[in-house]
């Protein structure tokens, strides 16, 4: 029979209050030990699962960070894409203006300054394009590349079929992306 007059250890009771009943040794036989071992195994499995969840969360966070850094870098690199596409028509018109000047007008003192001014403007525009990673797509004499060239017509020629023999409009890249394809004429076997 228990002595109910024994002094109670309140600190020990508080400490045991948060422990699950299965883990307390109530003086039972080995089945209590089995229950405690099962509970420990279950808690260890839950701990391992929680560790895996933390690792997955860290990896996911790192992937999101990398994606965001790439998006920011792409935004910086290609921010001028829309403006560059719009300004290409100005570059095209400068080239057309220079090509339209007949040879005798180039030598005429009245127009020499005008022609020189248009050529200087074109050179400056090409320089600015270069500073911003905008480059012209190589076309003449190259094999047709559908990733960079848009074939507009086939021209009978002695050149290898599929070779570009005429460029109607220059194509441009901005860094490693196509800004505008070159519009070209492609060689075909003569009839």
pLDDT confidence band for 2 (50 / 70 / 90): very low
Q: Is residue 17 part of a domain?
A: no
pLDDT of residue 1: 46
Mean pLDDT lowest among 29-38, 76-85, 146-155: 29-38
pLDDT of residue 129: 92
Is the domain of 107 the same as that of 57? no
Is it the case that residue 23 has pLDDT exceeding 70? no
Mean pLDDT across the stretch 123-148? 93
Per-residue pLDDT tens over the stretch 50-72: 999 999 999 999 999 999 999 99
Is the domain of 54 the same as that of 39? yes
Report yes or no: 35 and 22 within 8 Å, Cβ to Cβ.
Answer: yes
Is the domain of 168 the same as that of 145? yes
| Burial class, 60, CB count within 10 angstroms (exposed 0-12 / middle 13-18 / buried 19+) | exposed
Residue ranges making up the domain that contains 120: 80-132
Instruction: Tell me what the pLDDT averaged over the chain comes to.
Output: 84
Per-residue pLDDT tens over the stretch 146-188: 999 999 999 998 888 999 999 999 999 998 899 999 999 999 8
Q: Is residue 13 part of a domain?
A: no
Is it the case that residue 92 has pLDDT exceeding 80? yes
pLDDT of residue 12: 54
Q: Is residue 186 part of a domain?
A: yes
Q: In what order do the strands lie in the sheet with 177-180?
A: 134-136, 172-174, 177-180
Tell which of 132, 149, 170 closes a domain.
Answer: 132
pLDDT of residue 74: 86
Residue 150's nearest CA partner among 175, 129, 134, 168 is 168
Domains held by the chain: number: 3
Is the domain of 191 the same as that of 165? yes
């Amino acid at each position: 029979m228990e002595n109910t007059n024994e002094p109670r250890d309140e600190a020990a009771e508080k400490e045991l209050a948060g422990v699950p009943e299965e883990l307390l040794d109530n003086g039972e036989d080995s089945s209590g030990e089995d229950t405690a071992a099962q509970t420990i195994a279950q808690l260890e499995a839950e701990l391992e699962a929680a560790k895996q969840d933390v690792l997955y969360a860290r990896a996911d966070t790192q992937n999101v960070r990398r994606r965001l850094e790439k998006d920011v870098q792409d935004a910086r690199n290609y921010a001028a894409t829309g403006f560059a596409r719009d300004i290409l028509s100005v570059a095209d018109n400068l080239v057309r203006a220079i090509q339209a000047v007949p040879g005798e007008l180039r030598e005429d003192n009245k127009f020499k300054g005008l022609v020189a001014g248009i050529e200087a403007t074109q050179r400056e525009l090409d320089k600015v394009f270069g500073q911003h990673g905008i480059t012209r797509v190589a076309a003449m004499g190259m094999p047709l590349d559908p990733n960079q060239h848009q074939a507009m017509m086939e021209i009978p020629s002695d050149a290898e079929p599929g070779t570009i023999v005429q460029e109607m409009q220059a194509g441009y890249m901005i860094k490693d992306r196509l800004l505008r394809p070159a519009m070209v004429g492609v060689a075909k076997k003569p009839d």
